[in-house]
A and B are shown apart, each in its own frame.
Chain A
Amino acid sequence: MNSKGVLRDNVLLGLGLVLMIAALYLIFVYVPTEREMGVVQRIFYFHVPLAWVSLLAFLLVFICSILYLWKRAMKWDILAHASAEVGVVFITLVLITGTIWAKSIWGVWWTWDARLTATLVLWLTYLAYLLVRNYATDRAQGARFAAVLGIIGFIDVPFVALAVNLWRTQHPPALIFEGGITSPMLLAMLVSMAAFTVLYILMVIQSASMKNLETEIKSLKDT
């Protein structure tokens, strides 16, 4: 990696650390405990940003998949692959933290609610996206299949985002957009979102540069 890349990564790492420490301070010290749900409501301050970053990750997969099928340049496939990998990590955490919150508030770990089901479908789709690449015998074929899956899979994203408005669901609505949360809560949520966005960018950069290196080594070995 060149010196510009190292500097960029260090700046992102520093920014991410500062934002994450600020987010943790706001979540556990600054924000008052919510009256109805109690302390368990604090799960939301990581659950919502994780969901936001997951959807952002799959948006990038969608865009890069289109660009790969159009231009056939390997860089788009590598970026899509890296974003999907990080997205799957984050959406897994969304599902886990969601079930923990559901158990404490609803008394059940899981219910076939529209938002939950759509999120589970999204998780399975992008898990398949990652598996397709591993099982494909040819690198280019795997990239093509994955790109198609990356585009089709994105159809589920609007359903995940709008499920609470389209159907009667048990899942709480997006209170941020409806003015249903207090200023300290909103501040904690926004700082946490910023921290996870920086973390996502950093992870994608690292993962993509790793995959790039892997591809180069493989082509060197082949020659």
Chain B
Amino acid sequence: MENMSFLFAAYTIIWVVVFGYVFYIYRKQRKLQKEIDLLKKTVDKLEIS
């Protein structure tokens, strides 16, 4: 039964790390999208003025 906990730990860690990395990419993507929006607004303001 103790071996079962090793198996559970291994697969849990794998999924936590994989999803953690996917979440990191997702957050970075959102941050970049915000920066793009900000840049677009700045360009629009410059064009108007």
Residues of chain A at the chain B interface (Cβ within 8 Å): 38-40, 42-43, 46-47, 50, 86, 89, 92-93, 96-97, 100-101, 103-104, 199, 203, 206-207, 210, 213-214, 217, 220-221
Contacts and interface: CB of A to CB of B under 8 A. Distances in A.
Residue with the highest number of chain A CB atoms closer than 10 Å, among B2, B21, B28: B21
Given A46-B11, A214-B32, A89 B17 contact: yes
A203 B39 contact: no
Given A203-B21, A214-B32, A39 B14 contact: no
A128 to B, nearest CB: 19
Interface residues of B, number: 21
Interface of B: 2-4, 6-7, 9-11, 13-14, 17-18, 21-22, 25, 28-29, 32, 35-36, 39
Contacts of A214: 32
Nearest to B35: A217
Contact of B32 (A38, A47, A207, A217): A217
